[in-house]
Structure 1
Amino acid sequence: MTTPDFDRRCAEIARQTAQLRDLVEGADALTPVPGCPGWHLGQLVRHVGGAHRWVEEIVRTRATREVPDDAVNEVAPRRAEDMAALGAWLDEGAGRLVAELRAAGPGARVWTVLPGVTSPAFWARRMAGETLVHRADAALAVGAEFTATDEAARDAVDEWLSFCDHPEAYAPLPGSPAVLGPGRTLAFDTAPGAAAGGGSPTGGAPPADGGPAASGSPAPGNTPSAAGHPLTCDAPGPTAPARWLVDLTGDAPVLHRTAAPAAVTVRATPTALLLFLYGRPVPDGSLDITGDRDLLTLWRDRAAFWLT
């Protein structure tokens, strides 16, 4: 039996891939990708297509253990390529992935990067967000406007925030400030009317630090540990308030999907918040940040552990 969220995310993979293909088809494969320093457009497309094929194999074979992901992280060297042909290759891989996800359904059991999470629903959500973020990278690279539906952007934001309770995101590090502590709370608000009110391009927030390491796919050597809590694949629905509170005052972070006062608050559209959390450039005036910006910088850097 399938679910509306699962079906929507499968459709989102296909939709985002088609839009990504349209962006790159007439572009130069050697165009630098600002959101992924050191990569060019051809490498970006091969990374996304490699991720689709990697997950397709996992789901198709009902893998119960880790599958090598060389095609994801070891992208091709710099070279001129026919982007129309590469776009067709990308589209083919996404089609195969979506077909396998739908054939398996959310009730099947497959390996994922998270201990205790075995549903293809994880991969449907992960690949929808992966493709969306890299479409933003492609748009920036070719000078096109990036837009996303609130529903797709909010779902990707919710997934990103859901990783906050894994030890890599908060465990003490030698020589680094503590993430947990009294009064440490962060609020994120993307509800209607929560758009920025004149902050700076980054609002004093963490700098954009994307790149190959910030690909959007948890790297095999840097996945959440078994000590962390299982990641939920649920998210606010289309009509739910798009607000989150990250509570750092206890023994481990707790994510609440609610509005509440916090030590630092970020207000933005869903798309702007998505770009901010993923360390991508954010348009001027898109973020309204109030409160403890140092806490936001510290937490944002640590919570991005799964992108390193």
Structure 2
Amino acid sequence: MEIERLVQTLSVEGHALARAAEEAGTEAKVPTCPGWQVRDLVRHTGMVHRWATAFVADGHTSYHPDEGLPDLDGAELLSWFREGHRRLVDTLSGAPADVECWSFLPAPSPLAFWARRQAHETTVHRVDAESALGGAPSAIAVDFAVDGIDEVLRGFHARPKSRVRTDAARVLRVRAEDTDAVWTVRLSSEPPACERGDTAEADCEVAGPAAALYLSLWNRRPFPRVAGDSSLATLWREKSAVTWG
């Protein structure tokens, strides 16, 4: 996806997250993140925004630690979040296309990486904030959800730290039914190997609308449909969590 579109999505989603958090109240529980209250969600996402901004704004070419979580709550916390979100959007919007800085997943450029990563980070956490209000989350565009599925399967879980592994070789297929996007995920004792397309016979297929699959792969909702060996869908839900740090 184009960087401009990703940054615009980041802007919209950050504002929506703040609105939902304000409406729910920072003491509200977050059903999609068991054990968290809205204050935890806002602190975490605001910290990540500042952490990402520093790489692009300051040109860190190696890993740089975050600044930790703020001891803020209520209106003061939401103001802090909005300020950091605005700075991230402004930094990505104003950065030169050839900016050099550290990143941790394959991308056409560091700027493309950070725009994509923060757009998806903020979208998933916007859904978390809306879950504190109850009801269905706001819509996610099909092409953006497809891009997010790509990032999860071919980015995060291609890394050595992925725990989604099987003793014997197995194949998981992910099919977005409202578009032609299909992924084949080969599971083994090594990190998952994912490719686009229906390239191998699957032991299990998870299918549904792209936005629903996107949230399912981030463990925000059950898979819409599972066919074949459901233990692979269970494996995903039990082992795929991406943790901070």
Structure-1-length-normalised TM-score = 0.69
Q: Distance in 2 between matches of 1:148 and 1:114?
A: 23
Larger RCO (CA within 8 A; separation ≥ 6): 1
Q: Is the 8 A contact 1:190 1:268 kept in 2?
A: yes
SS in 1 for 2:23: coil
Residue from 176, 179, 194 that aligns with 1:190: 176
Q: Which runs of 5+ in 1 are unaligned?
A: 172-177, 193-239
Deviation of residue 305 (structure 1)? Answer: 4.7
Residue by residue, what CA displacement relative to the aligned partner does 1:138-177 show, whole Å, maximum 9, x if unpaired? 1111114202221222222211112222222259xxxxxx
Residue from 271, 279, 292 that aligns with 2:229: 292
Q: Is the 8 A contact 1:43 1:76 kept in 2?
A: no
Q: Is the 8 A contact 1:188 1:265 kept in 2?
A: yes
Q: Which runs of 5+ in 2 are unaligned?
A: none
SS in 2 for 1:244: strand
Q: Greater CA deviation, 45-54 or 21-30?
A: 21-30
Residue from 156, 168, 186 that aligns with 2:161: 168
Residue by residue, what CA displacement relative to the aligned partner does 1:154-206 show, whole Å, maximum 9, x if unpaired? 222211112222222259xxxxxx52634x111111132xxxxxxxxxxxxxx
Q: Distance in 1 between matches of 2:127 and 2:57?
A: 28
Does residue 93 of the first structure (1) align with residue 90 of the second (2)? no
Q: Which has the higher helix share?
A: 2
Residue from 216, 219, 229 that aligns with 1:276: 216
Residue by residue, what CA displacement relative to the aligned partner does 1:26-64 show, whole Å, maximum 9, x if unpaired? 332111112222221122112212211111111100111
Deviation of residue 296 (structure 1)? Answer: 2.8
Alpha-carbon spacing, 1:298–1:281, altered in 2? closer, same or farther (3 Å): closer
SS in 2 for 1:25: helix
Deviation of residue 275 (structure 1)? Answer: 1.9
Q: Distance in 1 between matches of 2:88 and 2:25?
A: 26
Q: Distance in 1 between matches of 2:25 and 2:215?
A: 24
**Aligned partner of 1:6: which letter?**
I
Alpha-carbon spacing, 1:268–1:76, altered in 2? closer, same or farther (3 Å): farther
Q: Is the 8 A contact 1:111 1:118 kept in 2?
A: no
Q: Is the 8 A contact 1:16 1:131 kept in 2?
A: yes
Mapping for residues 1-308 of structure 1, pairs under 5 Å: 5-71=2-68, 74=69, 76=71, 81-82=74-75, 85-114=76-105, 119-146=110-137, 147-162=139-154, 163-169=156-162, 179=166, 181-182=168-169, 184-192=170-178, 241-248=180-187, 253-260=192-199, 261-282=201-222, 287-306=224-243
Across the aligned residues of Structure 1 and Structure 2, the Cα RMSD in angstroms comes to 2.8
Q: Distance in 2 between matches of 1:245 and 1:105?
A: 36
SS in 2 for 1:168: coil
Structure-2-length-normalised TM-score = 0.86
The number of residues matched between the two structures is 242
